[in-house]
Chains A and B, each alone.
Chain A
Amino acid sequence: QKEVEQNSGPLSVPEGAIASLNCTYSDRVSQSFFWYRQYSGKSPELIMSIYSNGDKEDGRFTAQLNKASQYVSLLIRDSQPSDSATYLCAVNSGGYQKVTFGTGTKLQVIP
């Protein structure tokens, strides 16, 4: 079982819709969770971090964490073509500095 799993996609949504990206992780002691966006040919950019169960909102982005289910998600409201990218889920286990990345989900927002 992979430590951090994501559906590779592509996930296609029409412009203005809500894009829902999901991620599961295997290490129950994981404490910090991150979502990165990576445009083709560029390095990843941190867009959201979440540490507690529940929702965290930042502009059009909402991260959701459910530690009991070992599940973290990212919702993008009012999706724009510029949101088209690969979204990487990353997990940092407690006591360790190493961050484990999922393989990423490719999002395509269709105008």
Chain B
Amino acid sequence: GAVVSQHPSRVICKSGTSVKIECRSLDFQATTMFWYRQFPKQSLMLMATSNEGSKATYEQGVEKDKFLINHASLTLSTLTVTSAHPEDSSFYICSARESGKANYGYTFGSGTRLTVV
């Protein structure tokens, strides 16, 4: 089955620093990947849609200059949280679906738990 690898699984950083999270589709190509954020006991919140070779599409209220997304290849998307603050502490999850399989479900990465101290 489709596998999405996300790295790191857990990261602690100091306020003001930047953190990069990687999302890789291991056995398929994905022109589109999605980034979600989830606070404790809350639902998934879509942050942005990552498009290979073009700019990401951000959801309303998500700062694109703070959450930088790069989708440089058909198997890799990265999310960089810039100038992180404690309120950015959350569970970040990516998802992807094999290109051309519109009716298939999306596969999620294992998530990255970010703690900003």
> Residues of A with Cβ closer than 8 Å to B?
31-32, 34, 36, 41-46, 49, 51, 88, 90, 92, 97-99, 101-104
Contacts and interface: CB of A to CB of B under 8 A. Distances in A.
18 contacts: A31-B103, A42-B110, A43-B6, A43-B110, A44-B93, A45-B108, A46-B106, A51-B103, A90-B105, A90-B106, A97-B49, A97-B97, A97-B102, A98-B34, A98-B49, A99-B95, A103-B42, A103-B43
**Size band of the B side of the interface?**
20 to 34
Interface string B21-45: 0000000000010100000001110
Q: Is the interface of A mostly helix, strand, loop or mixed?
A: strand
A91 to B, nearest CB: 11
A16 B43 CA distance: 28
